[in-house]
Amino acid sequence: MNFKAIVFSCVALWGATAAVAQTPVYLDDSKPIDQRVEDALSRMSLKEKIAILHAQSKFSAPGVPSLGIPDLWTDDGPMGVRPEVLWDEWDQAGWTNDSCTAFPSLTCLAATWNPEMATLYGKSIGEEARYRNKSVLLGPGVNIYRTPLNGRNFEYMGEDPYLAAQMAADYVRGVQSNGVAVCVKHFALNNHESNRYTTNSIAGDRALYEIYLPAFKAACVDAGAWSLMGGYNLVNGQHATYNQRLVNEILKGEWNWDGAVISDWGAVHDTKQAVEGGLDMEFGTGTDGLTGSGNSYDKYWLANKYYDGVRDGIYSEEQLNDKVRRVLRLNMRTAMNRNRPWGSINSPEHHQACRTIGEEGVVLLKNTDKILPIATDKVKRIAVIGENGIKRMTVGGGSSSLKAQYEIHPLEGLQNRFGNDVEIVYERGYVGDTVTYYNNVWTKQDLRDPRSAEQLVADAVNAAKDADLVLFFGGLNKAYHQDSEGTDRESMDLPYGQNELIEALVAVNPNIVVVNISGTGVAMPWLDKVKAVIQGWYLGNETGNTLAAILAGDVNPSGKLPYTYYASLDQCGAHKLGEYPGTPRHDPIEGDIIDMHYNDDIFVGYRFTEKNKIKPTFPFGHGLSYTTFEYGKATIDRKKGTADDVFTVTIPVTNTGDREGSEIVQLYVSDLKSSLPRPVKELKGFSKVRLAPGQTENVSFEISRDALSYFDDKAHDWVVEPGKFEALVGASAGDIRSKVSFEVQ
């Protein structure tokens, strides 16, 4: 090698070594994230720090171009990845490749009582979000079902904090395995939609810690959620999105959570409160991005006003840096994560996941004379009645509205399954919601009908007269004042004259099966007159095929209710004890607000009905099967080798029927004597077991001190009092099969 070549090689080697040495740590995936965050933070200007804390479009926030840090893109969930919208507007962008898999509602997921289904759900929707290059999926919703009128119940996971916590944690893990962040919402006490911007939810610490926070804690602490969304409402006098108590003291303080707090779209109203209350990212403040001179996004509360405040010494840079760290951490876990998988969308696996989750979540509420499953040797003519038999439900309902690649409605599913064996006739019976679009996404249906209400009923009755079986598909829909963001229901009654229609059908045919499509409970004044009732939820792409499989018996129903099915509103503590939807008053700081006192305290759902000896239509945890299960005698043992009180409860469960099926075995714990009021019993464990005919399995639960404790608001601590307890094992809160006493030292 000649001299020049040697010199050239040395220079090249030095340059390469220097380049490696100068590679920013924040770009090095092998380094710990916190080290990378500090490196990036040290290189950012004040303007760059402020910029990443607020939106630059409807659904994105800027990165740091000078450092090669990419933009952060969010998208609505939690039941499917929403289609693209225009940069500054809500209208659809008009893409032809942004359809998605529509998964079942989260009430359906909770009704599976199966954490494996939550993992499958999260993994599948996370893959779709990743394929669309989204960094943050806005979901899941984990607010507690406090009133059956809440328009957003279908987006949440039921009334019980333990069940919601278990399901939420596995959903979160599934999504984030794709390098896509969840954004758990809506933190906290966001339990109805009426007056959602001005409602001031007033609750004590016992209710907060025992009922309304556990699902959030499980998602954020146990599952490590990377972001969280505040609610529109106020909590104890301060906006939830930047609430000192919720965000700074509990979320970031007690829980030591390191994620980013993101505002709901339009939930921020003040710079000082937002800065000091712990908000990290602001989205959706009232601007279309086009109005006025300059960049309208710079007019956000966490934009120029915040920049000026830091520059002028009103706000500390230390406080700013904490927010920036959290946003950088979110970015590095998602958009900057070069090791995350590529994802997929509308795959056969996702469509099957949709169907599997739906099949496990559908609940058989009643089945007199074993009218179900449908026996094709006896049933030759089926009359399908009801608008929900043909209405596609993936469009509408607010931010969860989807552009599904396809949607099979119930009539199509029945025709697919029974078309060659059974004559199927259809009559609508009533006209409810004829709107078939939302944000310019169309269902490709025309639901207008020229017939009068009287004629619709007459035609339905005529079709039912000569049928061997009548399947009534009714319930709610995604229209305003039904299951929809922004509005609550006006009553528990079925809308559009459905109760009267069912009575008319019963009068001409005793073999009526009601399939209720909704995300929440409805009044059933006709319950004793129909043979069977199915809670059908919103089931996404595979709605029709899922319900047909259940009705035909191809799938043995195994879902159970994640909430109490009230007969009327006065069975629900939120209504019985007054105040809903709240009392208006004027606050000198916040303006006109509506106080909503949580007078039911910790007694939500079955905790309230059992305390007051109320018999609901169906209890929490109820659900039937096409087979039967026998529970043996429960036994309990103190777990050996543990210093604390830890017990193991075991019970044998046997399939005593003639077909394979799954049973959800539920463990409740009762404190027989405590110094503070406690519920009659509380869910502290569940297990879904699949059994062949004649098979027995011993189901075991571990009872730790967490399951025995209550929150003492005066001591601000969880307390386990010594004394006698009972472990109760059963098929629902209202069907306890065995119980065993034990004592805590």
Domain 3-37+49-333 has CATH 3.40.50.150: no
Give 15's pLDDT tier (boundaries 50, 70, 90): very low
The count of residues in the chain is 745
Confirm if 170 and 224 have CB atoms less than 8 A apart: no
Tokens standing for residue 355? 């169907």
Q: How far is CA 303 from the centre of its chain?
A: 31
* Backbone angle region of 486, left / alpha / beta, with phi > 0 → left and psi within -120 to 50 → alpha: left
Position 9 pLDDT exceeds 70: no
Report the distance separating Cα 330 and Cα 215, nearest Å: 21
Q: What is the pLDDT of residues 261-277, one digit of tens each?
A: 999 999 999 999 999 99
Position 644 pLDDT exceeds 80: no
Q: What is the pLDDT of residue 745?
A: 86
Q: What is the pLDDT of residue 16?
A: 39
Position 17 pLDDT exceeds 50: no
How many other CB atoms are found less than 10 A from the CB of residue 41? 15
Listed in sequence order, the residues at least 6 apart from 518 whose beta carbon sits closer than 8 Å to its beta carbon are: 154, 475, 476, 483, 535, 536, 537, 538
Confirm if 711 and 666 have CB atoms less than 8 A apart: no
Q: What 3-state DSSP class applies to 69?
A: strand
Q: What is the pLDDT of residues 24-63, one digit of tens each?
A: 999 998 999 999 999 999 999 999 999 999 999 999 999 9
Q: What is the pLDDT of residues 59-87, one digit of tens each?
A: 999 999 999 999 999 999 999 999 999 99
Q: How many CA atoms lie within 13 A of 551 on its CB side?
A: 32
Listed in sequence order, the residues at least 6 apart from 226 whose beta carbon sits closer than 8 Å to its beta carbon are: 136, 176, 181, 182, 259, 260, 329, 330, 333, 334
Residue of 264, 600, 601, 645 marked active site:
264
Confirm if 143 and 191 have CB atoms less than 8 A apart: yes
* Nearest residue to 398 via CA among 326, 333, 478, 471: 478
Report the distance separating Cα 129 and Cα 149, nearest Å: 31
**Domain 627-745, CATH class in plain words:** mainly beta
For this structure, is 264 an active site residue? yes
Q: What is the pLDDT of residues 213-265, one digit of tens each?
A: 999 999 999 999 999 999 999 999 999 999 999 999 999 999 999 999 999 99
Q: Across the strands, what pairs with 235?
A: 201, 238
Longest dimension (CA), the chain: 105
Report the distance separating Cα 710 and Cα 692, nearest Å: 39
Report the distance separating Cα 375 and Cα 597, nearest Å: 51
- CATH code 3.40.50.1700 region(s) in the chain: 348-552
> Domain 348-552 adopts which CATH fold?
Rossmann fold (3.40.50)
Q: What is the pLDDT of residues 273-301, one digit of tens each?
A: 999 999 999 999 876 545 555 578 999 99
**pTM for this predicted structure:** 0.96
Q: How far is CA 309 from the centre of its chain?
A: 38
Q: What is the pLDDT of residue 420?
A: 85
CA angle 117/160/630 to nearest 5° reads 70
Q: Across the strands, what pairs with 630?
A: 654
Give the chain's mean pLDDT.
94
Report the distance separating Cα 28 and Cα 38, nearest Å: 13
Tokens standing for residue 541? 């792409």
Q: Across the strands, what pairs with 735?
A: 732
Q: What is the pLDDT of residues 418-471, one digit of tens each?
A: 988 899 999 999 999 999 888 889 999 999 999 999 999 999 999 999 999 999
In order of 4, 11, 21, the CA distances from 7 in angstroms are 5, 6, 21
The single residue listed with the structure tokens 């079709």 is 463
Report the distance separating Cα 491 and Cα 489, nearest Å: 6
- CATH code 2.60.40.10 region(s) in the chain: 627-745
Q: What is the pLDDT of residue 288?
A: 52
- CATH code 3.20.20.300 region(s) in the chain: 3-37+49-333
* Nearest residue to 678 via CA among 644, 714, 725: 725
Peptide bond into 78 cis (omega under 30): yes
Position 316 pLDDT exceeds 70: yes
Peptide bond into 188 cis (omega under 30): yes
* Nearest residue to 261 via CA among 231, 217, 289, 285: 231
Q: CA 129, 135, 138, 141 torsion: positive or negative?
A: positive
* Nearest residue to 536 via CA among 556, 520, 555: 520
Q: What is the pLDDT of residues 680-718, one digit of tens each?
A: 999 999 999 999 999 999 999 999 999 999 999 999 999
**What are residue 283's phi and psi, to 5 degrees?**
-130, 150
Position 1 pLDDT exceeds 80: no
